[in-house]
């Protein structure tokens, strides 16, 4: 086993920060009231719940009444999409525009809605991994009730022209949702500047606890409830609030935003060092535009090998990486994101996603470059596919 233990899978989940843990502790020990209870303990809990809502709202340029707590990014995506779909249906609209490289929380919700009679247009994404605003504009017609495009892609890290797409949707009177799960806490987020009607976020992607997230819904849009029961979240999301997690999420968000610029600068330098080092590997390619890009994410393909083998050998060297999104690992299908941006199937099989954070050192980056180079070389030495590529290109 290796002396190294390098966590390079922050796009799958991040470590809970000390600040978030400390903020949560009183709510796991002393403060145990139910925010719906009328007695003092309940009212204390309620006060902390609403303080967290206010803090989160302020951090993204929203007002507290526009924030709904959910169990995470997936639930927020489901709720946003069903909200716009059912609001549209009431007005006789049943068409939704999205893209082929969205997270499965979005894509699978859209497939479910197709079975309910909605029509879905999934836009192709150009090879740079950036959805074109004009393609969105062209796909919208009189029956369109929702556009949903992610802020930053979870596999390749490309950042989408959200404000521009939002402007088009406003003009055409179509609701606009963005899955900002990879973006919140990593790049500046302001719901007003972004012209969005709905935005999903998840705490565990910005050093908060797992199993908690939030959905921003612009004032005036009636929110569809997915879970029926009590009157929590103004009747839009039943169930006793996970107050410790909510408070932890608010603390983690405040901390990530406070350190956002400093971390982004540091992480970008390290990410570029990693990218430069790995680009020296022959027949490798970087996936997605590197300018409009999350600081910490790097996605590469190495021809002639399988991403899963690479992943397992790197794990033995103490490097925790991913071959795509955590949600599709376990299946041998190549990433739908890479296929959406036109990477050929054979090449998409050899993909590697590295998502680093500010805790990584230069020494660890150099170790990663050396290890990945070594493992790719080894896998190619035993790969019939690579042998074929070499003989065809002599």
Q: Which residues have a catalytic role annotated?
A: 327
Phi and psi torsions of 98, nearest 5°: -150, -165
State which of residues 213, 248, 288, 324 lies at the interface with ligand PLP (CB under 6 A): 213
CB of 304 to ligand PLP, least distance (A): 29
| Sequence-ordered list of residues with C-beta below 8 angstroms from that of 256, at least 6 positions apart, any chain | 185, 186, 206, 207, 263
Question: Which is closer to ligand PLP, CB of 213 or CB of 350?
Answer: 213
CB of 204 to ligand PLP, least distance (A): 6
CB of 130 to ligand PLP, least distance (A): 15
Burial 112-137 (b: 16+ CB within 10 A, else e): ebeeeebebbbbebeeebbbbbebbb
| Gap between the Cα atoms of 293 and 152, Å rounded | 8
Token reading at 34: 């139910």
Nearer to ligand PLP, 46 or 82 (CB): 82
Within residues 38-97, the interface with ligand PLP by CB under 6 A covers 72-74, 77
Q: Which of 8, 136, 181, 189 touches ligand PLP (CB under 6 A)? A: 181
Q: Which of residues 132-151 bind ligand PLP (CB under 6 A)?
A: 150
State the nearest-atom distance from the C-beta of 210 to ligand PLP, in Å: 7
Report the residue count for the chain.
394
CB of 153 to ligand PLP, least distance (A): 7
Smallest gap, in angstroms, from Cβ of residue 40 to ligand PLP?
33
Query: Does the protein bind ligand PLP through residue 154 (CB under 6 A)?
Result: yes
Candidates 182, 287, 297, 383: give the one binding ligand PLP (CB under 6 A): 182
284 vs 322 by CB, closer to ligand PLP: 322
Q: Interface with ligand PLP by CB under 6 A: which range of 26-34, 125-133, 179-187, 350-358?
A: 179-187
**Closer Cβ to ligand PLP, 36 or 328, answer by number:** 328
Nearer to ligand PLP, 44 or 260 (CB): 260
Query: CB of 92: closest distance to ligand PLP in angstroms?
Result: 30
CB 216 within 8 A of CB 196: yes
Question: Beta 95-99 vs 6-7: how paired, if at all?
Answer: unpaired
Q: Which of 296, 360, 302, 348 is nearest to 152 (CA)?
A: 296
Contact in structure between 352 and 299 (CB atoms under 8 Å): yes
**Closer Cβ to ligand PLP, 33 or 72, answer by number:** 72
Of the pair 66, 179, the CB lying nearest ligand PLP is at 179
Candidate list 88, 156, 176, 179; residue touching ligand PLP; CB under 6 A: 179
Q: Quick check: 340 and 124 in contact, CB under 8 A?
A: yes
Work out whether 129 is an interface residue with ligand PLP (CB under 6 A). Answer: no
Kindly report the backbone phi and psi dihedral angles of residue 337, in degrees, each rounded to the nearest multiple of 5, phi listed first.
-70, -45
- Name the token pair of 108: 């699978």
337 binds ligand PLP (CB under 6 A): no
Q: Which residues pair with 187 in a beta bridge?
A: 184
Q: Helical H runs in the chain?
A: 18-29, 40-59, 73-90, 104-115, 133-139, 162-172, 232-235, 243-258, 260-279, 307-316, 336-340, 345-348, 362-381, 384-392
- Closest residue by beta carbon to ligand PLP: 73
| Number of residues forming the site for ligand PLP (CB under 6 A) | 15
The least CB distance from residue 213 to ligand PLP, in Å, is 5
Residue with tokens 């549209």: 88
Of 56-64, 107-115, 175-183, 349-357: span binding ligand PLP (CB under 6 A): 175-183
Neighbours of 219 (CB within 10 A): 9
Give me the sign of the Cα torsion angle 230, 210, 183, 151: negative
Token digits of residue 339: 């296929």
Residue closer to ligand PLP (CB basis): 182 or 299: 182
Reading the block at residue 48, the tokens are 């902390």
Among the listed ranges 29-37, 41-49, 60-68, 202-210, the one in contact with ligand PLP (CB under 6 A) is: 202-210
Residues that bind ligand PLP (CB under 6 A): 72-74, 77, 103, 105, 150, 154, 179, 181-182, 202, 204-205, 213
């Amino acid at each position: 086993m290796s002396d190294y233990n390098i966590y390079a899978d922050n796009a799958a989940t991040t470590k809970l920060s000390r600040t978030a843990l400390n903020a949560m502790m009183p709510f796991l020990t002393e403060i145990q009231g139910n925010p719906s209870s009328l007695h003092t303990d309940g009212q204390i809990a309620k006060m902390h719940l609403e303080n967290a809502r206010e803090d989160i709202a302020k951090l993204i340029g929203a007002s507290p009444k526009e924030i709904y707590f959910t169990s995470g990014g997936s639930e927020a995506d489901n709720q946003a999409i069903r909200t716009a779909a059912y609001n549209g249906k009431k007005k006789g609209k049943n068409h939704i525009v999205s893209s082929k490289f969205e997270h499965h929380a979005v894509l699978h919700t859209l497939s479910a809605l197709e079975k309910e009679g909605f029509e879905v247009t999934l836009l192709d994404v150009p090879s740079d991994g950036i959805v074109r605003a004009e393609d969105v504009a062209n796909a919208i017609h009189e029956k369109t009730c929702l556009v949903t495009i992610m802020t930053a892609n979870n596999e390749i890290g490309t950042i989408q022209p959200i404000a521009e797409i939002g402007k088009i949707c406003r003009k055409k009177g179509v609701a606009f949702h963005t899955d900002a799960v990879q973006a919140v806490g990593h790049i500046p987020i302001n719901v007003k500047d972004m012209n969005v009607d709905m935005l999903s976020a998840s705490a565990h992607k910005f050093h908060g606890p797992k199993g908690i997230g939030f959905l921003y819904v612009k004032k005036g849009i009636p929110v569809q409830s997915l879970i029926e029961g009590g009157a929590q979240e103004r009747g839009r999301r039943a169930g006793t609030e996970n107050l410790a997690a909510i408070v932890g999420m608010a603390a983690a968000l405040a901390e990530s935003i406070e350190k956002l610029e400093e971390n982004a600068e540091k992480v970008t330098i390290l990410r570029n060092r990693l990218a430069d080092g790995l680009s020296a590997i022959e027949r490798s390619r970087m996936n997605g535009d590197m300018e409009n890009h999350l600081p910490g994410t790097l996605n590469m393909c190495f021809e002639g090998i399988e991403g899963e083998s690479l992943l397992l050998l790197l794990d033995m060297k103490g490097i925790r990486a991913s071959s795509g999104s955590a949600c599709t690992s376990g299946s041998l299908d190549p990433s739908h994101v890479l296929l959406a941006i036109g990477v050929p199937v054979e090449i998409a099989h050899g993909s590697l996603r590295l998502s680093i954070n500010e805790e990584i050192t230069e020494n660890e980056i150099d170790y990663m470059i050396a290890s990945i180079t070594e493992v790719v070389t080894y896998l190619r030495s035993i790969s019939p596919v690579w042998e074929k590529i070499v003989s065809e290109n002599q």
